[in-house]
Amino acid sequence: MDKNELEKYLTQSLNMALDLGSESSYTNSFAVMVEEQGFHFVPRLPAGYLIDNELYFRIFIIANVALYPKYTVLKQNSAYFTALDSEDIHIQRSLFFPWKKGISERLVIPDLKKFAGENTGEQIPLMKNLTVNYNKVTGICISGNSGSGKSYFLSYLLEILSTMSRLIIIDPKFDSPSRWARSHGIEVIHPASNRSKSDFVSQVNDALSLVLQIIYERQGILYENPAHHFEHLTVVIDEVLALSEGVNKQIKESFMSLLSTIALLGRATNCHLILVSQRFDFNAVPVSVREQCNLLIQIGNINSKTIQFLFPDLNPEGIVIPLGKGTGLVQVIDSEQPYNILPLLTPTFYTEEGIV
* Ranges of each domain in the chain: 3-101, 108-355
The neighbouring-strand residues paired with 96 are 40
Instruction: Look at residues 79, 91, 84, 98 and name the one whose alpha carbon lies nearest to residue 39.
Output: 98
Instruction: Give the pLDDT score at 338.
Output: 63
Question: CA–CA separation, 166 vs 134, rounded Å?
Answer: 13
Question: CA–CA separation, 234 vs 211, rounded Å?
Answer: 9
Q: Quickly count: other Cβ atoms within 10 Å of residue 54's Cβ.
A: 10
Instruction: Give the pLDDT score at 356.
Output: 53
Nearest-5° angle of CA 28, CA 32, CA 38? 165
Question: CA–CA separation, 309 vs 331, rounded Å?
Answer: 13
Instruction: Look at residues 25, 60, 64 and name the one whose alpha carbon lies nearest to residue 43.
Output: 25
Within 13 A of 153's CA, how many CA atoms are on the CB side?
33
Please give the chain's pLDDT, 356 residues, in tens: 899 999 999 999 999 999 998 999 999 999 999 999 999 999 999 999 999 999 999 999 999 999 999 999 999 888 999 999 999 999 999 999 999 999 999 999 999 999 999 998 899 999 998 999 999 999 999 999 888 899 999 999 999 999 999 999 999 988 899 999 999 999 999 998 887 888 999 999 999 999 999 999 999 999 999 999 999 999 999 999 888 787 888 999 999 999 999 999 999 999 999 999 999 998 889 999 999 999 999 999 999 999 999 999 888 888 988 888 899 999 998 876 667 889 999 999 987 564 45
| Cis peptide upstream of residue 46 (ω within 30 degrees of 0) | yes
Kindly report the pTM of this predicted structure: 0.90
Amino acid at 125: P
Q: Is 132 within 8 Å of 337 (Cβ atoms)?
A: yes
3-class secondary-structure state, position 195: coil
Measured between its terminal Cα atoms, the distance across the chain in Å is: 41
Q: How do 348-351 and 108-109 pair as beta strands?
A: parallel
Whether domain 108-355 has CATH 3.30.1370.160? no
Instruction: Give the pLDDT score at 242.
Output: 85
Instruction: Give the pLDDT score at 220.
Output: 96
Q: Quickly count: other Cβ atoms within 10 Å of residue 305's Cβ.
A: 9
